[in-house]
Chain A
C-alpha cells in the first residue's frame, strides 16, 4: 500500500530475483501453480522486501535486516538425514507422529508414515508436481493477502507437508512437523497445507531448529465446521525465520494456537486468521523469550467475518539484553459480524535498559453489537514482589526466575493439552536456567 516507486534493489533482493529466475523452470507445478508463482514473483519484484514504510512491517524492516540472501537449499545429504533423528526434542516426550523436513525438503525415511484411517499425508513438492487436486484447490487461496513475505514464499515454495484429515476423524496422535537445517547455510521456502474437515479433530505441532539459514515458511490451514484443531509452534534459529500462518475457520469450530520463540535470532511470526462461520472460538497465544540481539515479531490479523465468534489472544514476552520484541495485533470485525467477542492481551517484561518493546494492538470494528477489547502493558519486574521473595531468603536471580516463571506461566497454563503444556513450560524453564 505504501510501496513507493523504487528501482534500486538491495543485494538480497537482487539475489532473490536471480534465484527465482534461475530455478523458475525447475520448481514443482505447472499451469495454474506456475501462474500463481509468477504473479507472486511480479509482486515481489515490484515491491521488494518489506520495509519500515510498509505499515505491517514498521518495526521489522526486513530490507534492512536481511543483508544477504543465502543460496537455495540443495537436497539433504545422508549426514543431514542422520542428524535429523535428534531434531524436534522439544516435543520428543510426546507420542507424536513425526514428519521430518531438512532444509524444507521432506525426508520420508525419517518420517512416520504408518497409515491411519481418515488421514492422508503427502509432500508438497509431489503434490505440486502431480497437480494434486486438494492442493490446487487450496494453495494460495486460504487467505488472500498481498503480504510480501507470503508472495516470496509463493514464488519459491518447494516442499512442505500436505495433510488431510477426513470428516469426523479424530487423530490418534498429534502430528509433529520437524523442521531442521543441514550443515550448509541456505535458504528454504517451505509451503504446507493442512485441511481438517468437518467435525474432525487434530493436534498439529511444528518445531523449527536451524543454524544461520534463512527460512520462509507458510502454512495454509482450513478448519471445517465443527472441527477442533490445536496448533503448536516452537522456533529456535540462529538465522532468519519468517513464518506465515494463513487460516480459515468454519462454523462452530475451535482452534487454539500457541507459539514459543526462544533462542530465536530474527523471527517474524505472522498469522492471518479468518473466522468465516458463526459460533466458533479461537485462542491464539504465545510466549517469547529474548536475549542478546534477538528480534521477534508477532503480527496477526484476526478477521471476524461471521458473527457469534469469540477469540482470545494472549502474548507474553520477556526481554533481556538488547532483545527487541514486536507485537502487532489487529482485530477486524466486519459489518454484520454481530455478537463478536474478542479480547487481546499483550504483556512485556523488560529486564534490561537496552531492550525494546513495540506494541501495536489494533481494533477495526464495523458491527455494533460486539464486545472487543485489548490491553497492553510493558514494565519491569515488580520490585515489591522481588523484595518479598528475597526477604524470604531467595536470592536475586532465583527470585527473578520465579517471577518470570509466574509471568509466562499464566499464558502457558492456558494450554489444555497436558503434554504440550509441560513440554513448552520445560523449554521456557530451560531458557531461564541458561539466563546469565
Chain B
C-alpha cells in the first residue's frame, strides 16, 4: 500500500476522539436571557457594575451594529448565524468576593488542570525541571495566567509581583473599575467600535478579557498569558483584550483557547488591541484550539476575530505569532499599523485545517511611517476536506518612504480533497518601498515521507515530522512552552491518534 495514500486515509478519518479538550465542566452558571437587544447590553453592563461612560460606549456600538451587514468576502461558508438564539453572557456562579485562588470553584480549577494550565502559583514556583526536545534543561520561566471561563475572568496569578514591577495585568472588567483613565484612552483606539460587523458586536457585548499596561521603560518580568475556555452550551464568547506597552516597555503575551465538543456551532468574536509607544515592543502569541467540529462538519466554533496592533511610537515593534488548529471557521487577520517611523510589524502563522474546517486568515501590514519594516511568514497546511486561505495586505503609503516588506507564504496539501488558496494584496505607493513576496503550494513530499519511514517511523509520525519541519520557522517564534505544546497540537490535528 502506498505510504502517502495510507497517510491520507488516516488523516481523512479525522476522529473527534482526538480533540482531547472536548469535555464539559459541570458548574453552575448565571446567564443573561437568551437573545440580543439593548436590554442584553444593559444587563451585561449592569452585571459588571460599569460606569455610565462604558454603557454609553456599548450602546453606541450596538446601535451601529444593527445597521451593519455580516461580511461575505472571505472564503468561508457557514449557515446563517441566528444572533437571537444565543446567550451573550454566562458566568460561573461564585462567591461574591474572591480573595484568593482557593475560593475559585474547584471544578473550574480542575478544568484548567485538565487543560494542562497551572493556575496555582505554588505549582509554578515548585517548578518541575523541564527539558526541551533535545534534552537541554529549560531556563525556568514563570508565566502569569489569567483564566477566562465562558465570559468571565476567574483567576489571575502573580498579581502582586507584577504590581511591584508596575505592570497592570487584570481582567478587563476590573480595569474598567480601577483604571478608567487608561481604558478610556485606549479602548477602541485601534479597533474603533465601527470597524467591522464582528468587532462592533464585540464592542456592544464583550464581557471580559485581559487588560495589560506596561509602564515606560519596564520589561515585564514574566510572560503573561490568558486561557480562554468556552464551557456553556449555546453561548457566544466575546472577549476584549487591550495591551499597552508604554515608551521603551516590553511584554510577551500568550493566548490559548479550548472548548467542549458540542453539536451546535458557537460564536467567538473577540477583539484584541495592541498599542506600542516609542521603542516599545509587544509579542503576542496565540495557540488557537477551539473545538473544530466533527468529521462531518457538525459543531465547532465560529471564530471571527479582529486583532490589530498600532505601532504608534517611533521604533516600536509588534509581533504576532499564531498557531491555528481549531475552530470550524476561522476568520482572522492580526494586523499592524506601522505609524511610528522605524516601526516594525511581524506576522508568523501556522494554520492547519483538517476535516471540514475552513480557515481564512492572514494579516495586514499598513506602512504609514518612514523606514517601517514588516515580515510575514505564513505556513498553511490543508488536509481532509478542508479549505485553507491566506489573505494578506501589504501597503506602503506615499509618505512611507523606505518601507520594506518580506512575505513568504507556503501551503502544503495532504490529500486531494482539500483546497489551499493564497490571496495577497500588495500595494506600493512610493518608489523607495521595497516589497518582496513569494508563495508556493505543493503536496507533502513522498520522498521525505519514505525517507522517514525507512528509518522506522509510521506514516503518522513521518507526516507529523515533515509538517513540523515545514512550520519550523514559525514555531521558533513561539515562547518555548508554547512551542512544545504547539508541536504536539500539530501532530494531533493531523493524525488519528498519535501523541
**Chain B residues near A380 (CB, 8 Å)?**
431-432, 434
Provide the bound-state CA to CA distance between A364 and B411, in Å: 11
Tell whether, in the assembled complex, residue A372 and residue B427 are in contact, meaning their CB atoms are under 8 Å apart.
Answer: no
* Given A359-B427, A363-B421, A378:B433 Cβ within 8 A: yes
Q: Which residue of chain B lies nearest to A379 when distances are taken between CB atoms in the complex?
A: B434
Complex interface: chain A residues within 8 A of B421 (CB): 362-365
Residue ID in chain B nearest A367 by CB atoms: B416
**Taking CB as reference atom, which chain A residue is nearest B436?**
A377
Among A279-324, those with CB < 8 Å from B are: none
Q: How far does the Cβ of A321 sit from chain B's closest Cβ, in whole Å?
A: 11
| Contact residues in A for B437 (Cβ distance below 8 Å) | 359, 361, 374-377
Given the complex, which residues of A lie within 8 Å of B78, measured CB to CB? none
**Chain B residues closer than 8 Å to A244, beta-carbon distance:** none
Interface string of B415-436 (1 = CB under 8 A from A): 1111111111111111111111
**Segment of B241-249, B281-289, B438-446 in the binding face:** B438-446
- A368 near B435 with CB under 8 A, answer no
Q: Which residues of B contact A368 (CB under 8 A)?
A: 413-416, 418, 443
Is the C-beta of A186 less than 8 angstroms from some C-beta in chain B?
Answer: no
Min Cβ gap B287→A in Å is: 26
Q: How far is the CB of A322 from chain B (nearest CB, A)?
A: 10
Q: Are B433 and A350 in contact (CB under 8 A)?
A: yes
Taken residue by residue from 328 to 353, chain A's Cβ proximity to chain B (1 for < 8 Å, 0 otherwise) reads as 00000001101000000000101111
Q: Give A38 to B474 CA distance when docked, in angstroms.
A: 54
For the complex, would chain A's binding face be called helix, strand, loop or mixed by DSSP majority? strand
Decide: B434 and A372 in contact? CB cutoff 8 A: no
B413 & A365 in contact (Cβ 8 Å cutoff): yes
* B433 surroundings in chain A (CB, below 8 A): 350, 378-379
Question: A338's contact among B416, B418, B424, B434, by CB below 8 Å, is which?
Answer: B416
In the complex, how many angstroms separate the beta carbon of A323 from the nearest chain B beta carbon?
Answer: 11
The answer to whether the Cβ of A431 comes within 8 Å of any Cβ in the partner chain is no
Complex Cα gap A342–B271 (Å): 38
B441, A356: Cβ atoms closer than 8 Å: no
A372 touches B441 (CB 8 A): yes
- Note all chain A residues with C-beta closer than 8 A to B438: 373-376
Contact A365-B411, Cβ < 8 Å, known A379-B433, A380-B431 = yes
Return the chain B residue nearest A333 by Cβ.
B441
Could you tell me the distance between the alpha carbons of A366 and B413 in the complex, rounded to whole angstroms? 9
Q: Does A17 contact B (CB under 8 A)?
A: no
> Is the C-beta of A369 less than 8 angstroms from some C-beta in chain B?
yes
Taking a contact as CB atoms under 8 Å apart, the answer to whether B427 and A357 are in contact is yes
In the complex, A365 Cα to B440 Cα: how many Å? 11
Of the four ranges (under 10, 10 to 19, 20 to 34, 35 or more), the interface on chain A belongs to: 35 or more
Q: A372 CA to B442 CA in the complex, in Å?
A: 6
CB-defined contacts of A372 to chain B, threshold 8 Å = 440-442
In the complex, B398 has a CB within 8 A of chain A? yes
A394 within 8 A of B: no
Sorting the interface of chain B by its residue count into under 10, 10 to 19, 20 to 34 or 35 or more gives 35 or more
CB distance from B408 to the nearest CB of A (A): 10
Residues of A within 8 A of B225 (CB): none
Q: B401 within 8 Å of A by Cβ?
A: yes
Q: Tell me the bound Cα distance from A425 to B441 in angstroms.
A: 34
CB-CB under 8 A from A379, the residues of chain B are: 428, 433-436
Measured in the bound complex, the distance between the Cα atoms of B430 and A335 in whole Å is 40
Partner of B435, one of A363, A364, A376: A376
Query: Is the CB of A385 closer than 8 A to any CB of chain B?
Result: no
B435 touches A365 (CB 8 A): no
Determine if B428 and A373 form an interchain contact, defined as CB atoms under 8 angstroms apart: no
A74 within 8 A of B: no
- Asked if A335 and B416 sit within 8 Å, CB to CB, the answer is yes
* Per-residue interface assignment for chain A, residues 147 to 162, with 1 indicating a CB less than 8 Å from any chain B CB and 0 otherwise: 0000000000000000
Within 8 A of A (CB), among B296-318: none
| Bound: A414/B434 CA distance, A | 25
Determine the distance from Cα of A286 to Cα of B148 in the docked complex, in whole angstroms.
55
Residues of A within 8 A of B429 (CB): 355-357
Cβ of A413 < 8 Å from any Cβ of B? no
Tell me, in angstroms, the Cα distance from A41 to B436 when the chains sit together: 42
State whether A378 touches B414 (Cβ < 8 A): no
Q: In the complex, what residues of B have CB within 8 A of residue A85's CB?
A: none
Say yes or no for A360: interface residue by CB 8 A criterion: yes
Whether the Cβ atoms of A351 and B431 lie closer than 8 Å is yes
Question: Roughly how many angstroms separate A361 CA and B427 CA in the complex, as a whole number?
Answer: 12
Check if A359 sits within 8 Å of B431, measured CB to CB.
no
Are the CB atoms of A363 and B439 closer together than 8 Å? yes
Find out whether the CB atom of A353 lies under 8 angstroms from the CB atom of B430: yes
Given known contacts A365-B411, A375-B438, A377-B437, is B419 in contact with A348 (CB within 8 Å)? no
List A residues 365-399 near B (Cβ within 8 Å): 365-380
Q: Quick one: closest B residue to A335, CB to CB?
A: B416
Could you tell me if A363 and B441 are in contact, using CB atoms closer than 8 angstroms?
yes
Are A363 and B442 also in contact (CB < 8 A) when A356-B427, A357-B427 are? Answer: no
Which residues of the other chain, A, contact B423 by a CB distance below 8 angstroms? 360, 362
Residues of B within 8 A of A361 (CB): 422, 424, 437, 439
Return the chain A residue nearest B415 by Cβ.
A368
Known: A356-B427, A359-B427, A368-B413. A378 touches B435 (CB 8 A): yes
Chain A residue numbers with a CB within 8 Å of B422 are 361-364, 374
Residue of A nearest to B418 (CB): A368
* Closest chain A residue, CB of each to CB of B437: A376
Cβ-defined contact, A353 with B439, below 8 A: no
Docked-complex contact B413 and A358, CB < 8 angstroms:
no
Please, how many angstroms separate the alpha-carbon atoms of A364 and B426 in the complex?
17
Give Cα distance in the complex from A373 to B441, angstroms.
Answer: 6
Render B33-63 as a binary contact track against A, CB cut-off 8 A, 1 for contact: 0000000000000000000000000000000
Q: Which of B160-180 contact A (CB under 8 A)?
A: none
B75 nearest CB across to chain A (Å): 9
Min CB distance B366 to A, Å, is 14
Is B416 a contact partner of A352 (Cβ separation < 8 A)?
A: no
Contact flag A353-B414 (CB < 8 Å), given A358-B425, A365-B441, A374-B438 = no
| Contact status of A365 and B431, CB under 8 A, knowing A372-B441, A376-B426 | no
Give B431-470 interface residues, CB cut-off 8 Å to A: 431-443
Residues of B within 8 A of A350 (CB): 428, 430-433
Q: Beyond A353-B431, A363-B421, A365-B413, is A370–B440 a contact (Cβ under 8 Å)?
A: no
Chain A residues positioned under 8 Å from B420 (CB to CB): 363, 365
Residues of chain A lying within 8 A (CB to CB) of residue B443: 368-370
Q: List 13 A-B contacts (CB under 8 A).
A: A350-B430, A350-B431, A355-B429, A356-B429, A358-B426, A359-B437, A362-B422, A363-B441, A364-B422, A365-B421, A368-B414, A368-B443, A373-B440
Instruction: Report the 8 A-B pairs with minimum CB-CB distance, sorted nearest first.
Output: A350-B431, A373-B440, A368-B413, A379-B434, A359-B426, A378-B428, A363-B422, A376-B437
